[in-house]
Structure 1
Amino acid sequence: MAVHQGHWVRQLRVEPGTQIAPVCSPAVLGPAIEQVGQDAIDWAIALGHTIAVRAAEVSPRFGKGPAQIATLRLGTESAAIIAMLGIDSGSIDTPAITEDTIRAIQDYVHRGIPLPTIWASVRQGHAWLAEAYMRACVEHVPVAEQPTQLQLAVEVLFNFVDRFSEAIGREYGLEHERWVMTTVAARDEMVRTILAGDCGDVPAAENILHYSLAHRTHIGVVLWADSSKAAEDSALHKIAVALLHAAGAEQTLLIPYGRSSMYAWGNSARPLSVAGDELASVLDKYNGVRAAIGDTHTGLSGFVATHQEALEVREMIETLGMRDKLIDFTSVHLLTLLAHNPARARRFVRMELGALAADEPQVAELRKTVAAYLRLKRSPLAVANELFVVRNTVSYRIKKAEELLGRSLDERTLETWVALTLKEVLPPDVIEAVDIHSAEKL
């Protein structure tokens, strides 16, 4: 038992106006605020957020979306608060784990994140936690008292992480036992087997899934919530069913993927369609929920293909920072091939379009006209009818665009069209942000 108290943690605070909304429950926050004060807990919340973001960068399996970061924060925020309370009281007898952290562990079990991955993240997170508290100690404690207080922080943190890791292992095992006994887990395992290409008995798989795989046209949907609140307030399964029925599905298969995501399929003996505004109108009713949709494919291989396409669309959405609520694979197929490296995509746009890539309203109008011109087989009349302008206006705009390009639109037609498409979907602020972080890769 440590004999000293570390009330210096009560001095910790963030800059005014930079507080981060907590994810932990009032059961954790209330007593903590009463013990050390709101300012100190705001500091711990911010530290937990920082550690969660860094952990997601190191271990991509946790996911980098807002809802996935919020799930990570259930553990990191709890740990930062428990550590603060232990240092403040001078006691190593702190709680090993909170109900909030247990909620996160349940999510990891359901998503198939292995326990060694979680433990590795805990060890790394502990190092960041210790670094932050020791730095804070040096900044807020008089030099003469620093050895004692640093020793206290080390004692509290190392004792806590040992018990924290043990508790995580115990809760993971308990949840895994419960999970494997459920029907949902059996269906989840079968879907994983199919997606891995290891399904040797299609009729048996269909019996487990209660979903027809052979001789049916399938469409895959990946749904996710941008925040844990959206996931709780919106029933993802209802949205998935509505989307699939709007596409013409006769059967549906829904597989939750953690607390804030869902994989879904629909099938039909008749053709399915992702076209039209009906699907988009489904999502318009819900805030914070987004969807990626694969193309339609037939049979067992089609079940796999449409899901993989939906995953590619989601990855592209998150990589490029696109804010669309619903995107289907067919409309962005080319982008999924080109947008894996946004910095290079940005450079490609600038190299191909030159001055035509300028972020000015007049130039944007020229790009819109050129895109229509290339899509409509270079017919000024067809472009004029589509854009509701006179033919001479189209001809003028094409001439101006060629001047900015420095070449005729008869040259490098494919490259020009691709660059125009990329320019349309990459917001300027996102392009700049990605370019800074990815410059070293070029």
Structure 2
Amino acid sequence: MTTIAVAPLPLWARDAADAVDLAALADRVVEADLAAAFDTLRDNDEFVTRLHASVVENLRALRLVLTGRIPLAEVRLTEPFALAVLQARLRLPQTALQRSYRVGFLTMWQEWSDQLVARAGLDDVPRRESLEALQALTELVLAYQHHVASLVADSFARTDDALSRSREHVRAGLVQHLLRDDSTPLPPADLVLLDYPLDAAHLAVLLPSTPEREARQILDTLRDKCHVRDTLVHPIDLTSTVVWLAQPRQAGWPACRVEAIIDCLRSLSLEASVSEPHVGVQGVRDGWRQVRDVQGVREAWGRGVLSYPDVSLEVLLMADPARARAFVRTELGELGAEDEVAARLRETVEASHRYGSHVTTAAHLHLHEHTVRNRLQKAAELLGRPLTERRTELQVALRLARLLIA
């Protein structure tokens, strides 16, 4: 690739370029890139780390070019190419890559041009010389952007092309198509490639801390212990995976078989969210929706494995968080305080409702029976009524409190 020849900056402009705070500018560029092109990846730690490393390396190299320490042709980078490979693996469109470079380099140019203008005013540089320096700065930044973006785009395209030829990558694209509510039926050739019976009864399992390779190993265990034959694996990102397990529509998923899956996941000490069984293509989508709902509750509760029936009430009531919070405040009153004492009292009341007797509740909580009785009495005082009144509403409020009260 031919490098564009650009006039160097005068010495006073090089000093201005050297004075830019690269650490602060890197943070601004990363935020601009995320907002413009990668907003959905803000919580992906690996991606954000790679993006930040790429920005920092570009800023350091660009400053070397602007200050005349190295010519553009001698710039050597690694982090932007590593980021491009990661973007391709995450199946991000090349338009997002291009948009991030446009926005990122605009942010860089604004900072350096502001520094140049400020230094020109401070040093009383003649107007014509100031404009020529600003023009040279702009040409250097644009030449650097063209040089680097072209190389990175080529790296992205090569990686994306290799992945596109990968069978698993194609299957991932088919699954993404299936999960869209407006998706059209897959043609026979794609069904063969998918190699999963869409007309079966499906059980979805979200593994939020398990990358694809490990998820496949877990499926081998599930096949052996729970006699599951057909499975579909879909990586959500580099660290989480969703899988669907299929049973013939006629056999379905009896409760005992679902429980066997859950027991197996727990025996492996996994974090997992499990759906109810669903049938057909819509069942694949419904399972995906349910495991995402369960995951929100599972994260709040800190449980290892949860299934949709465990939290269906919470999912239903949390569809309107504002009304759920108002309900909890009304029902619990002072018992809903955000402190450790109130939290222990709520835990005791909830256990008492579940187990029915002070003795069993005490055994479950590893407390003395008198302690349980005292806590229940204190809870009733904070509640302002006996624990037997509005029992159903109280139980629901206590369950919601586990999600809403820190």
Letter in 1 for 2:161: E
Structure 2 contact 206–242 (Cα < 8 Å) conserved: yes
Q: How does 1:7-406 map to 2 (within 5 A)?
A: 43-44=22-23, 47-49=25-27, 51-53=29-31, 55-57=33-35, 59-89=38-68, 93=72, 98-133=77-112, 143-144=122-123, 153-196=137-180, 198=183, 200=185, 205-224=190-209, 235-238=213-216, 240-241=218-219, 244-245=222-223, 248=226, 249-268=228-247, 271-273=257-259, 278-280=264-266, 282=268, 291-314=272-295, 328-337=307-316, 349-350=328-329, 352-376=331-355, 380=358, 382-384=360-362, 386-389=364-367, 393-406=371-384
- Tell me, in whole angstroms, the C-alpha distance in 2 between the residues paired with 1:274 and 1:10: 64
Please give the per-residue CA displacement for 1:199-231, whole angstroms capped at 9, x wherever unaligned.
636875552123333334433324457xxxxx7
Distance 1:390 1:282, change over 3 A: closer
**What is the percent sequence identity of the aligned residues?**
22
Structure 1 contact 109–172 (Cα < 8 Å) conserved: yes
- Tell me, in whole angstroms, the C-alpha distance in 2 between the residues paired with 1:340 and 1:55: 32
- Tell me, in whole angstroms, the C-alpha distance in 2 between the residues paired with 1:54 and 1:351: 42
- Tell me, in whole angstroms, the C-alpha distance in 2 between the residues paired with 1:215 and 1:391: 50
- Tell me, in whole angstroms, the C-alpha distance in 2 between the residues paired with 1:65 and 1:52: 13
Deviation at 1:404, TM superposition (A): 1.4
Letter in 1 for 2:380: E
Deviation at 1:66, TM superposition (A): 1.4
Deviation at 1:165, TM superposition (A): 4.4
> Can you give the 5+ residue segments of structure 1 that lack an aligned partner in the other structure?
14-42, 226-230, 285-289, 429-442
Structure 2 contact 297–403 (Cα < 8 Å) conserved: no
Deviation at 1:125, TM superposition (A): 2.7
Distance 1:389 1:419, change over 3 A: same
Deviation at 1:400, TM superposition (A): 1.7
Distance 1:142 1:101, change over 3 A: same
Structure 1 contact 48–79 (Cα < 8 Å) conserved: no
> Can you give the 5+ residue segments of structure 2 that lack an aligned partner in the other structure?
1-5
- Tell me, in whole angstroms, the C-alpha distance in 2 between the residues paired with 1:335 and 1:9: 55
- Tell me, in whole angstroms, the C-alpha distance in 1 between the residues paired with 2:124 and 2:366: 77
Structure 1 contact 11–140 (Cα < 8 Å) conserved: no
Distance 1:372 1:56, change over 3 A: farther
- Tell me, in whole angstroms, the C-alpha distance in 2 between the residues paired with 1:127 and 1:354: 53
Aligned length, in residue pairs: 383
Which of these two proteins has the greater Rg computed from alpha carbons? 2
Letter in 2 for 1:307: W
What SS does structure 2 have at the residue aligned with 1:89?
Answer: coil
- Tell me, in whole angstroms, the C-alpha distance in 1 between the residues paired with 2:136 and 2:302: 46
What SS does structure 2 have at the residue aligned with 1:64?
Answer: coil
Deviation at 1:374, TM superposition (A): 3.5
- Tell me, in whole angstroms, the C-alpha distance in 1 between the residues paired with 2:115 and 2:305: 44
Letter in 2 for 1:405: L
Please give the per-residue CA displacement for 1:289-345, whole angstroms capped at 9, x wherever unaligned.
x65443443443333322232334456678x6x766655444444444555787886
Distance 1:145 1:280, change over 3 A: farther
TM-score by length of 1: 0.67
Structure 1 contact 221–293 (Cα < 8 Å) conserved: yes
Letter in 1 for 2:193: I
- Tell me, in whole angstroms, the C-alpha distance in 1 between the residues paired with 2:96 and 2:263: 41
What SS does structure 2 have at the residue aligned with 1:273?
Answer: helix
For 1:39, the equivalent position in structure 2 comes to none
Structure 2 contact 222–264 (Cα < 8 Å) conserved: no
Structure 2 contact 205–242 (Cα < 8 Å) conserved: yes
- Tell me, in whole angstroms, the C-alpha distance in 1 between the residues paired with 2:286 and 2:338: 37
CA RMSD of aligned residues (A): 4.4
